[in-house]
Amino acid sequence: MIRRDADASFERSFDDLAAVAYRVAYRLLGSRPDAEDVAQEAVARAYARWRQVRPHAEPWVARVATNLALDQLRARTRRPQVADDRDRAAPGAADPASPDRLELARLLEVLPRRQREVVVLRYLADRSEADTASLLGTSVGSVKTHAHRGLAALRTAWTGLDPDVRLDPGGS
Amino acid sequence: MFDDLDDPQPFRPDDAFRAGARRRGRRLRRRRRLAASGATTVLLLVGGAVGALAYVDHRVASIDRVEVVQLSDPPPPGEPRTLLFVGVDTRPPDDPDVTGSRSDTIVLARVDPGADTLTVLPIPRDLQVPVDGAPARINQAIDRGGADLLVRTIEDELGIEVNHYVQADVEGAVAVGDAVGGLDLAFAHPVRDTGTGLDLPAGCTHLDGGQLLAVARSRHLQALVDGAWRRDPASDLGRIERQQDIAVALLARLAELDAGDPVALARTFDAAVDHLTIDADTTASRLEDLVRAVVGAEVTQLRLPVADETTPQGAQVLVAAPGSEAVLAAFRSGVAPAPEPGGPDPGAATPTFSAEPC
């Protein structure tokens, strides 16, 4: 018996896709169960549209995971957040309600759509300029422009953000 | 830049995660498939006007029909049904060693709308079976008694009931191949056919409709193995196998069409219509059911084990080999056969001259 090779190619990509989705979701949500849930849904959606998604699966999944995570955050801020022990995995683990995460999410939401997409793919999902351009159907030059503008907007609104210095969760 | 927001524990998807993703994914696929309310209605969405209705009905009505009384009544909607697909090449053969038969490709496809699966079983055209009482190659059935005799032979000798008959000419493969945006096929070695001008590298290549036709008609395929060009010893038989591989790959590709993309569906339907002959009992709505069942289905490709045998008269023929009954049973039930102990490894290297989907 021979399984359809399209499904086989999905199986081969599975781990990488899950990892990308998880990383993006965790950076925004800071909670392992929440990030896993988002990652699982993002990967499932890729499977449902595998033929179309396959040529640029990783950036696609990163984008879906971002949107799902931002949706969750929007829902969270509407409900008062109760501190949950399970979210504090270990001493020193990132705080899901950390000002940086919430600030990041808020700022992402107010960016113009194109800039948000590029910033998310380039800096949350760590995709290359080429990958990003391919997924968004635009040129590398365009990606550079949007990234530059997006970061500039983030920096203006958020004095703690400096691309040359690693983010410190404890302060700004 | 945002490394500090990362989970200090590395993430590894476990079995529960995997199972959950697959479950959700399958549910999403089904929902997307059901959202497309059938080929005809989808085309209406594309057409958008009352005139489109007439056009679609006209297109479906223009499909050539053939009476195939031997077909079994289709089961109620939602139940699994089997389609017999026959590919014909009407171009007269220019090769004396090519027999005069027209039906080179015979593929059985079982679609299960409930389980969302499509099981595909190509039947080697040279398979020796009793045809109307006397042993013959299975594809001679269609020459002697039309689709009726082929359907009856398949039912009697392979134990498979056929509900629908679809015949396509090989030019249809070109049109449909282009409509679905080509196929990705892989050869194990660089191949060429100086007769048709075919020249492909090793590995996965994207082929358009014209290239697919060139592969399907290539009779003198050569492969570059260990620095030397080797002729396909199977010659015409090799061509038949490749043609079958293309037919199966196209069928599987149809299953992958995006149910949410009415334009692609309409384009494919339009491309196929002129090249099809369908049995007279498959009405437009039954055709719609079939298309709806195929799009988005999970495809499993089965292979019938065959072996060479010499007849008492000294002829070389192809017969069903041990394990074929298990494969036929698997097809009938839509369940994958258990691998034969010590049997061929499905993951084994691709044979030199065959094309695999990739």
Give pLDDT, residue B40. 43
Average pLDDT over residues A70-80: 73
pLDDT of B346 strictly over 60: no
Q: How far apart are CA B212 and CA B218, in angstroms?
A: 10
Cβ atoms of B172 and B90 closer than 8 Å = no
pLDDT of B81 strictly over 90: yes
Least confident of A33-47, B108-122, B149-163, B278-292: B278-292
Classified as helix, coil or strand, B229 is strand
Give me the residues paired with residue B228 across strands: B225
- A1–B299 CB contact, under 8 Å: no
With CA atoms as reference, report the closest residue to B242 among B267, B223, B216, B265: B216
CA-based nearest residue in chain A for residue B204: A5
Q: How far apart are CA A86 and CA B325, in angstroms?
A: 55
Cβ atoms of B218 and B198 closer than 8 Å = yes
Which of A56-60, B243-247, B351-355: highest mean pLDDT? A56-60
Task: Provide the shortest C-alpha distance from residue A29 to chain B (in Å).
Answer: 9
Whether residue B157 lies within 8 A of chain A, CB to CB, comes out as no
CA B318 to the chain's CA centroid: 21
Q: Which residue has the higher pLDDT, A83 or B266?
A: B266
Q: How far apart are CA B183 and CA B207, in angstroms?
A: 5
Nearest to B358 among A5, A46, A123 (CB): A5
- A168–B356 CB contact, under 8 Å: no
Please, which pLDDT band fits residue A157 given cuts at 50, 70 and 90? low
**B152-171 confidence digits (pLDDT tens):** 999 999 999 999 999 988 77
Average pLDDT over residues A20-40: 93
Which of A139-143, B89-93, B242-246, B288-292: highest mean pLDDT? A139-143
Average pLDDT over residues B294-317: 81
Q: Which residue has the higher pLDDT, B297 or B74?
A: B74
Average pLDDT over residues B298-309: 83
pLDDT of B34 strictly over 60: no
Give pLDDT, residue B286. 81
- B256–A51 CB contact, under 8 Å: yes
- B6–A94 CB contact, under 8 Å: yes
Q: How far apart are CA A124 and CA A103, in angstroms?
A: 14
Task: Provide the shortest C-alpha distance from residue B28 to chain A (in Å).
Answer: 6
Average pLDDT over residues B238-261: 76
Alpha-carbon separation of residue B230 from A154, B199, B204, B214 (angstroms): 62, 14, 20, 19
Please, which pLDDT band fits residue A73 given cuts at 50, 70 and 90? confident
Any idea which residue has 């499904």 for tokens?
A7
CA-based nearest residue in chain B for residue A99: B5
Least confident of B122-126, B173-177, B262-266: B262-266
Give pLDDT, residue A61. 92
**A124-133 confidence digits (pLDDT tens):** 888 899 988 8
Q: Which residue has the higher pLDDT, B149 or A134?
A: B149
Cβ atoms of B248 and B301 closer than 8 Å = yes
Q: How far apart are CA A163 and CA A165, in angstroms?
A: 5
CA B20 to the chain's CA centroid: 30
- A6–B303 CB contact, under 8 Å: no
Average pLDDT over residues B21-44: 63
Instruction: Please list, in sequence order, all residues whose beta carbon lies within 8 angstroms of the beta carbon of residue B350, skipping any fewer than 6 positions away.
Output: B186, B187, B188, B356
Give pLDDT, residue B52. 43
The chain-wide mean pLDDT, for chain B, equals 79
Please, which pLDDT band fits residue B83 given cuts at 50, 70 and 90? very high
Average pLDDT over residues B321-336: 87
Q: Which residue has the higher pLDDT, B118 or B196?
A: B118
Which of A15, A49, A155 would best serve as a mutation to test chain B binding (most B beta carbons within 10 A)? A49
Q: How far apart are CA B358 and CA B354, in angstroms?
A: 12
**A111-146 confidence digits (pLDDT tens):** 887 888 899 899 888 889 998 888 888 889 999 999
CA-based nearest residue in chain A for residue B304: A1
The chain-wide mean pLDDT, for chain A, equals 77
Nearest to B5 among A46, A101, A163 (CB): A101
Give pLDDT, residue B242. 84
Give pLDDT, residue A93. 43
Give pLDDT, residue B290. 83
Three-state SS across chain A? CEECHHHHHHHHHHHHHHHHHHHHHHHHHCCHHHHHHHHHHHHHHHHHCHHHHHHHHHHHHHHHHHHHHHHHHHHHHHCCCCCCHHHCCCCCCCCCCCHHHHHHHHHHHHCCHHHHHHHHHHHHCCCCHHHHHHHHCCCHHHHHHHHHHHHHHHHHHCCCCCCCCCCCCCCC
Q: How far apart are CA B246 and CA B251, in angstroms?
A: 8
Q: How far apart are CA B302 and CA B333, in angstroms?
A: 12
Whether residue B28 lies within 8 A of chain A, CB to CB, comes out as yes
Q: How far apart are CA B317 and CA B237, in angstroms?
A: 12
Any idea which residue has 């909670």 for tokens?
A31
Helix pair B39-47, B262-273: axis angle to 10 deg: 110
Q: How far apart are CA B118 and CA B113, in angstroms?
A: 9
Average pLDDT over residues B56-71: 79
- B29–A22 CB contact, under 8 Å: no
CA A149 to the chain's CA centroid: 19
Give pLDDT, residue A159. 56
Q: How far apart are CA B302 and CA B287, in angstroms?
A: 24
Give pLDDT, residue B216. 83
Greatest pairwise CA separation for chain B in angstroms: 79
Side-chain-side CA neighbours of residue B28 (13 Å): 18
Give pLDDT, residue B49. 36
Q: Which ipTM did the prediction report?
A: 0.74
Give pLDDT, residue B240. 75
Nearest to A40 among B20, B256, B258 (CB): B20
Classified as helix, coil or strand, B132 is coil
Secondary structure (DSSP) of B248-300: HHHHHHHHTS-TT-HHHHHHHHHHHHTTEEEETT--HHHHHHHHHHHTTPEEE
With CA atoms as reference, report the closest residue to A21 among A55, A53, A67, A52: A67
Average pLDDT over residues A46-59: 85
Give me the residues paired with residue B88 across strands: B103, B169
Nearest to B8 among A45, A48, A93 (CB): A93
Which phi and psi (to 5°) does residue B103 adopt? -90, 90
Cβ count within 10 A of residue B5? 20
Please, which pLDDT band fits residue B328 given cuts at 50, 70 and 90? very high
Give me the count of residues in chain B.
Answer: 358
Q: Which residue has the higher pLDDT, B315 or B165?
A: B165
Helix pair B15-35, A32-48: axis angle to 10 deg: 40
Q: How far apart are CA A126 and CA B322, in angstroms?
A: 53
Q: How far apart are CA B141 and CA B101, in angstroms?
A: 10
In chain A, residues with a C-beta closer than 8 Å to the C-beta of B7 are 22-23, 26, 32, 35, 89, 93-94
Please, which pLDDT band fits residue B258 given cuts at 50, 70 and 90? low
Nearest to B5 among A1, A36, A100 (CB): A100
Nearest to A26 among B7, B24, B337 (CB): B7
